[in-house]
Structures are given as C-alpha cells and as structure tokens.
Amino acid sequence: MHHFGEGSMISARDTSSADLTDFLQRMNVRRQKLVQGCLRRDRLDFAGHPDAKCLLLKAPRGFGKSVQIACCAQAAIERREHCIYLDLSSFRQESLSEAELIANAIATALSGPEPFDTDAGPRLKSIALRLLLSCKEPVAICLDGVADSTTTQSLLKTIALETPNSVRLAVSECLPGALASLSVLSNVVTIGARELSFTFDEAYSILPGEPGRAKTIFAATGGWPLLCALAGKLNASGDALVHMPDVQAYLDADVLAQAPQPIREFLTNSSWLEEITAEAAGYVFKNRDSSRKLAELASRHGLLTACADKPNRYEMNHALQKYLRIRFVEAHGARQSYFLKRIAFWHWRRKEYRLAIDAALRAHDHSWARQLTDEVLLDLALRQGEIEALAAWFTGIPRSNLFQIPSLAIGYAWVLYFSQRATEAQDLLASLQNFRVSISPQQEDPNGWADLVRAIGLATHDELQESDENCAAWVDRYGSVNPIGQAAAQTCRAFIAASGRNFDLFPKRISSATIFSGAIRHRYAFGWLAAARVQARLHVGDISAARSEIRRAKEDENVAYRRSPFVKGMMAAFELQVQAEDGSTIPDEKTVHDALEFAMKFGVTDVVWGTVRCAAETYIRRGEKTGAFSLLHRCRLLAQERGLKRLGILVRLGTEVFAMGTGTETALAAEPLPSGEDLQFLPSQNRALQAEIALLEASRFLRDGKSGLAERHARKALSNFSTVNDQRGEVRAHYTIATALYLIGQEKQALKRMVDAELKAQQLCAFMTLKNRRYFLRVICRKARVFLDRSTAEFSMTERPTRGMQANERRTEMSFAPIGQKQISVLQHAALGLSNKEIAVRMHVTEDTVKWHFRQILRGLRASNRTEAVVVANSLGLI
C-alpha cells in the first residue's frame, strides 16, 4: 500500500518532479503533526458514514476541518488503504494548477514502480482516473483547502460519479461556498458546523478543570472547537471569552472577513433578533432581500444554522452573537435602543409577549408594562408558566412601577410564591391592596387575580388546607368570569389532593382540572397536573406507575415538557426519585444536580424532601457521607428560612435515620421528637408523620435492645402507613416488625413478615426501599444480622420484576384498577395462603372487614371464589 511520502515515489527527473516530491513529503509531515494528540472523532470519518462516497466539510475556519481531513487520512493509512492527502492551502509550486496537483498526487500513489511523465499536463487527469478505475484496493483521497475552481470541481465530480465505491473522497473547502456543485450529489454527505462542533464530552476532554467550568464554556461557545481550545489555553470563563483579544482577532480575521461587507452588516444586525427569521429581519431592519441573505449566511458561510423543526428560522452561535452585539454597540450604540424597540414591537404585534418583553428589557424600556393587560401578564404567568423568565423581567422593573400597574404587582407576587419567597409575596399583595384603597376605596379586582394568586400561593408554602378552602371560595365567586383562573384553581386543588394523600378525591379533582385546562390550552396547568399524577404514585409507592406517568408527561404536547424549563425541572426532580428507587445504577452527577437545582429553588415541600432524601442516599452510596449530611443541613436551614414547618420535621426525622444507618454521631438524638401540637397539617399528612415518628422510635428501641417496645411501635407505624396507603412505608415497617419478632423468639412469624415485605416491594418495584431497610437494620441491630442475612439468601427476589407485561402496561393505577388498593392488599395476603383471620391480624382490621373486602374483590374482578380472584388479579398485574 502506498500513500504520499511513504512507499514508492516518482523519479525526480527534473526540477518540476523534484518540487512535487518535496511537496508530497511535506504533506506527510503535515498530516502527522495535525493528528498528533488530536481528538479522534470517528463519527465524522467514513467509519461514521460507511455508505458515503464523499465527505464534504463546510464550516467557517476554526471548526477543525483541517484536523478532521488529516484524521480521515490517518485512519485510511491505519486500514492499509492507498491514501492521497493534500493540504492545498500550503505553499506549492505555481507551475501546477490545483486540479493537476491532485491528479499528480493520485498518479504518484497508485502508479507503483512504473515512472510516468509528470509534465503530461491535461493528460494527467486521464492517467489518474485510469489508475483509480483499475485499482483493486480501497483508495482514500483526502483534500484540505480546495478552492472554488471549475476544473477542480469537474475532476472531483468525475471521481465521485465514475470510480468504484472503493474510491472515497474527504474534502474541505477553502473559501465559503466552494464546491457547491459537488455538494448536491446524492452520495455526498455534507458535514457542517453543527456536526463539526464538539459534543459536551468532547469539549470536556480538552478543557482543564472541573465539569462545571467545562459546562459553562461549552454553553457559551456552542461547542465551537477553536473557541473551546482558546478558552482552555487562555483560562477564560464562558462570559469573558468574547472579550479576549485573541478571540476577537480570530473572529474578525478568520471568520467574519470571509463574508462581504453588506452580508457582515446584515449578520451583525440580525444578532439582536430574539428569533432570526426573514420576516423579523425584514420588518426590523427594513430589508427587502432578508430571505436571500439569511440563506447565504447559512449555506455559503456557515454562520447561521437552519432550525431542524422550523426551516424558516435560523440560529446563531452564542459566542458569535455576543461578539457581534459588542461590535454593533461600539459602532452604532445610539441605534441599539431603536432596533430593540422595533424588535419588541414586532413580537408584540404577533402576540409573542415573552419575546417582546425580553427585547424591551434589553432596551431598558419599561413602557411595555403600561401596555400589558391583566390577561396578558397573568396568561404568561398562569397559562404558560414562564416563571424563570418572569423572575428575570421583574428584577429589571423599578419598584415604583409595580403598584402603578396592578397586574405587574400580581404577576410578581406569583413569581415570588413559586420561587419559594412567600413572605415577600404576601407583603407585596398587602401593599398593593393598601395602595388601591388609598387611591380609590371603591376600586375592585373584577377578575379576582390577586385573591387567586394568594390562594394558590398558600399551597406553595405548604398551607394546603387554607389554600384548598380559598381556591374553592374563589371558584364560586370568580370562576364563571375568569376561565384561566378557574383552570389554575382547579389544578391547585388537584395537586393538594395528591400531596394530601386524599386518593378517594384525587381522580375527581384531576378530571375536573383537566377539562377546564384543556378548554383554554392551559399549558402550565397541564404541567402541574402531570406532576400531581406522579406525586400521587410516589406517595402510594408505585414506582413503575410513577415512571410511566413521567414518560407520558414528556410525550404529551399539552404538558410542554420541551418548551417549559419549569416543567422540565419538576420532572427531573421526580426522575431522580424513580431512578434512585430502581437501584440498578447510581444516579449520575448531572441527574442529581439538575434535580436539586430545581427542587431547592422552586420545589414545594414534598418535591424538596423527596429530592433531597434521594440525593442524600445517592451520596452515601457513593461513599460521600459528608456531602449527604451537608445537603440535609442545608435543607433544614432552607425550611427554617422559608417557614416550611412540615419540611423541617421531615428533614429532622430523616437526618436521624441517616445518622443511625451510617453510624454517624449527631446532636439530633438529643432533640425531642415532634409532638401532637407540632402536627397541624392535613389529616393524612399528620398520619404520615406519625408513622415516620413511630418507626424512628421503633428503630431506637431495636438499637437499644428493647425488642418488645420496638415491635409495638413498628406495628403502630404500620397501621399509620396503611391508613395513608404508603406502601413503601409498609415495607419498612414489616421489615422492622420481622426483626423485632426474630429477636423475641418468634422466628416463624418473623419470616412471614419478611415474605410480606419482599412481595410488596417486588410489586411496587421499590427495590432500594427494601435494600436500604435491610442494610439499616443490620447496622443498628447486630444481633439480627444472622437472620437478615439468611432471609436475604432464602427469600430475596431478583432486582428486576419478572412479569410478562411491561411496566407501562400495569393496571395498578388508581383511576383504572377494577378494585381499590385495600382490596389489592387483601389479595396479596390471600395469595400467600393466609386465612381471613390471619389477614385481619396483619392488616389490623376485623375479620368482617376482610370478608367485606372479598365481596368487593369478587364483584370487581368478576370471580366466583378467592382462588379465581387471585388468578385474575395476577393476570391483570395487580398482585
């Protein structure tokens, strides 16, 4: 096999042939130096495009085209193919044209020991083609910096169309728009700036420092290879990068200079657009040929990228956009506000209020606020859920403007509530009311926006009873005249039912809220309704159903998962809980970080605690015990700061459990447990807390060797968990009772309890609940280790459910199951062969109650006896 500079070379009979020999040898050295220490990206080579005849690289300078062409050549050499590598931008002899040089190099590599006339002129192309056609082995022709030459394009098209598939081309253009005729061939794959950009993993591999810094630089550069490399070399942050002289010189000389002056000016203007479209550019900048210029910037210069889902819209690299704005301000600073106001007005006319306000705020123009109606602002806040965007807007509005425009104050209060700043929100609404009274005692709020925000805000502050009552009163008074508010109130009540574990009322609340929200396309409401469904499943402990609800929410267009950062953050918090319970893998750092970032900033009590608890478990599984307890302490401080009493209690109980399970000394043991006076929440929430308190006391007694007291308190915990239908809590209670029974000598009963816990955990897919409890009991009670280890070997289940149906086909969802959760629990015990009396003892009910449940089971499953009912329930995936 031969390639330039390695293998047979031509006979240097004259100066011309000697010059060619020297050039090809230089190319060999050039290739070796380019690939030395470079990042190999096979996805951009023929390995990633095995059916391509030609790879055509088109992008601005600095996207690594030269390196990638050299890598293609190196890969071909490693495959022992004939390889021709040329960088046509390098200094070379002037006697040969570009096409003749390419033909000469092909003939040199394929002619073998037979000499040929290097001065054959036009006949060289025919000689090269003949050699390509007759070659029996693969050939890779790798050309960097090809200029826009008609003769060169003709030669490359001929090679692409007339040679065998074993001959392949990898070509990068020297100037923007070169090789246009080659790019339209069907077997040519164009690799543009989007493909040449680094992925995050690729950028991280070349950037020094922590992943967080790499993530910032990657976001700022969009993966632009040379910018990433400069950021690493100059030790620049993402924000400061475009202010660095080296970066500015590169963008000016190597990127923007390739485009004509009118195109550069148009690109600079377009950098201010919120959305780059021909219509927006035409209106804002009064250009008649915007469409042509945008297309040229995208296809010819590679400085814009057409959106995949919206071909008429273009995107600009963030770093380039930021730099162009700097250049515009330097040259035309006085016109900046004028253009931004035109952009804002363009979006306002199209009722794209979020984009309009973004542009107006950058123009430091608050006159838009006076144009907002209550419906517009509250539509943005309630229907579209632009919480993060609104938070940014309000920080740019003078405080004095808020009370002059009531809708601003109401919208800001909404943002404060959902940013967990309830005290500030309440003060703001109170000040607004006082301001209204001082201006006009008769002034009213005909749509009830302020009362609605206050009512829903109480729920974000975990005052669920008051929130539910106020929302119901609001619906009675304003619901008929304010459909957006009606949907928001009904959605809030549905989430309260889920958070309050009111599973009898929950299906009705969800159905009602869905109807009202669907009628007005209430995007934000659909996000919260999806969250309510997931939260309900997590409270019950059905991990498989929770996973299905998350997947359904992501696919539901109404939920707006892809468009709403708030909804995406909420689902990330829930996904962490599901993934952590699955137990097959430890959640990665990004999963934990994204979930915590949302929960600690925006989450309500159940979301915050569920996320923090799972994150702490994850840290402990990684061996990062200090990180786990730091997070728990941070969450406790947050609860105190925000006045979230229930969150404070959950953190206090959970921290002691983590401390006992890891053998960590803590001052919490000296603090008294919450008393009845501290539990002033919804009845089901109080019972859930009482269950956790009782289970903690049982754990303390086990640790201290008081097995009888431990069993008594664990049974009390089990009763409370059963009342609120917390099945994962029941698993933990069963395991604790089993351990206590073993220690007092009732091994047979202990094993039955163990089987109950294992069966229930398997049905719920709650694998880590089971594993964590077993480990916890082994740590606090050494005497039971033999029993716990033996039970693991004899009664443990597989780490994955072995069902014929997929998880998303399970019928355990509350609104669709033909029997209730209590009946399912009765059947689970019956499947173990227990009598009615034994079932009654285990469920802490009377035998008559068990008989009543069986009557409901037989009717619901249309079975004639309990054995048939068990079979039917198994076939439906209920047990």
| pLDDT digits 0-9 by tens, 353-401 | 767 777 776 776 656 555 555 555 555 555 445 566 566 666 666 666 6
β-bridge pairing 167-173 and 54-57:
parallel
Nearest CA to 263 out of 297, 310, 304, 225 is that of 297
Give yes or no for a contact between 363 and 336, defined as CB atoms under 8 angstroms apart. Answer: yes
Residues 498-507: pLDDT tens digits? 999 998 899 9
pLDDT surpassing 50 at residue 765: yes
Query: What is the predicted pLDDT for the residue at 874?
Result: 74
Would you say the C-alpha torsion 617, 623, 628, 629 has a positive or negative sign?
A: positive
Q: How far apart are CA 361 and CA 365, in angstroms?
A: 6
pLDDT surpassing 60 at residue 819: yes
Query: What is the predicted pLDDT for the residue at 799?
Result: 38
Region 579-604 average pLDDT:
86
Residues 6 or more apart whose CB falls under 8 angstroms from that of 646 comprise 462, 605, 681, 685, 689
> May I ask the CATH class of domain 817-879?
mainly alpha
Residues 6 or more apart whose CB falls under 8 angstroms from that of 870 comprise 827, 830, 831, 879
CA 284 to chain CA centroid, nearest Å:
34
Query: What is the predicted pLDDT for the residue at 119?
Result: 55
pLDDT interval class at 320 (50, 70, 90) = very high
Cα angle: 235, vertex 237, 240; to 5 degrees: 110
Higher model confidence: residue 667 or residue 706? 706
Q: What is the pTM of this model?
A: 0.62
Query: What is the predicted pLDDT for the residue at 779?
Result: 92
Range in 56-60, 65-69, 171-175, 208-212 the model is least confident about = 208-212
Domains 200-362 and 817-879 share a fold: yes
Q: What percent of the chain has pLDDT over 70?
A: 85
Higher model confidence: residue 186 or residue 72? 72
Range in 167-171, 516-520, 811-815, 870-874 the model is least confident about = 811-815
The tokens of 818 are what? 């033909």
200-362 CATH pick, 1.20.120, 1.10.10, 3.40.50, 3.30.310: 1.10.10
Would you say the C-alpha torsion 742, 748, 750, 751 has a positive or negative sign?
A: positive
Which of 168-177, 360-369, 668-677 has maximum average pLDDT?
168-177
Region 316-323 average pLDDT:
92
Query: What is the predicted pLDDT for the residue at 167?
Result: 94
Q: How far apart are CA 203 and CA 241, in angstroms?
A: 15
Query: What is the predicted pLDDT for the residue at 807?
Result: 36
Query: What is the predicted pLDDT for the residue at 754?
Result: 87
Extents of the domains making up the chain: 15-196, 200-362, 672-810, 817-879
Give yes or no for a contact between 7 and 109, defined as CB atoms under 8 angstroms apart. Answer: yes
pLDDT interval class at 802 (50, 70, 90) = very low
Nearest CA to 343 out of 354, 331, 334, 333 is that of 354
Residue 584 three-state SS? coil
Residues 148-163: pLDDT tens digits? 678 888 899 999 999 9
The tokens of 612 are what? 């923090």
Q: Report the mean per-residue pLDDT for the chain.
A: 83
Region 24-30 average pLDDT:
91
Q: How far apart are CA 338 and CA 152, in angstroms?
A: 48
Q: How far apart are CA 706 and CA 340, in angstroms?
A: 73
DSSP string, 490-521: HHHHHHHHHHTT-TTTHHHHHHHHHHHHHHTT
pLDDT surpassing 90 at residue 171: yes
CATH no., domain 672-810: 1.25.40.10
Domain 15-196 = CATH 3.30.70: no
- Full strand arrangement of the beta sheet holding 313-315: 276-277, 313-315, 305-306
Q: How far apart are CA 697 and CA 288, in angstroms?
A: 77
Residues 6 or more apart whose CB falls under 8 angstroms from that of 693 comprise 653, 673, 674
pLDDT interval class at 75 (50, 70, 90) = very high
Residue 730 three-state SS? helix
Residues 57-66: pLDDT tens digits? 999 999 999 9
pLDDT interval class at 482 (50, 70, 90) = confident
